[in-house]
Amino acid sequence: MKVPTFVLQHTVQVEEYLGSGSKGDLYGPPEVVRCLLDERTQQVTSPGGEIVTSGSSYITRPDHRPPPNSRVTLPDGRRTKVITIARADGGRLPVPSNTQVFLQ
């Protein structure tokens, strides 16, 4: 079971991080993602194992997996980057599967 669409009240714009080039970071085309935005400060562990502070996060469909450093534009126009993601798989339980994306 996926997270119900009616819960996804917000939209963010995500540009996947593709790597670094001679002129700086490279990003894929913007994708509009329906989500539930949570603007709560919390500590998370980065892919490199560091404890960092996340200023916000969003929950969305389980197949959404932007790489770290992807650029995200929030509903109010602020730009931030992906720190890490966490996936919740409900399996056969009556709970929704989703992806939570933690932002700088």
User: Distance between CA atoms of 72 and 30, rounded to whole angstroms?
Assistant: 9
Who's near 90: CB < 8 A, 6+ residues apart? 1, 96, 97
Each domain of the chain, given as residue ranges in start order, spans: 5-103
Say what the pLDDT of residue 92 is: 86
Residue 7 has what DSSP assignment? Answer: G
* C-beta separation of 81 from 71 below 8 A: yes
Say what the pLDDT of residue 98 is: 94
Say what the pLDDT of residue 90 is: 87
In which residue ranges of the chain is pLDDT below 70? none
* pLDDT tens, position by position, 88-97: 998 888 888 9
In this prediction the pTM is: 0.92
What is the CATH topology of the domain spanning 5-103? Thrombin, subunit H (2.40.10)
H, E, C per residue of 39-93: CCCEEEECCCCCEEEECEEEEECCCCCCCCCCEEECCCCCEEEEEEEEEECCCCC
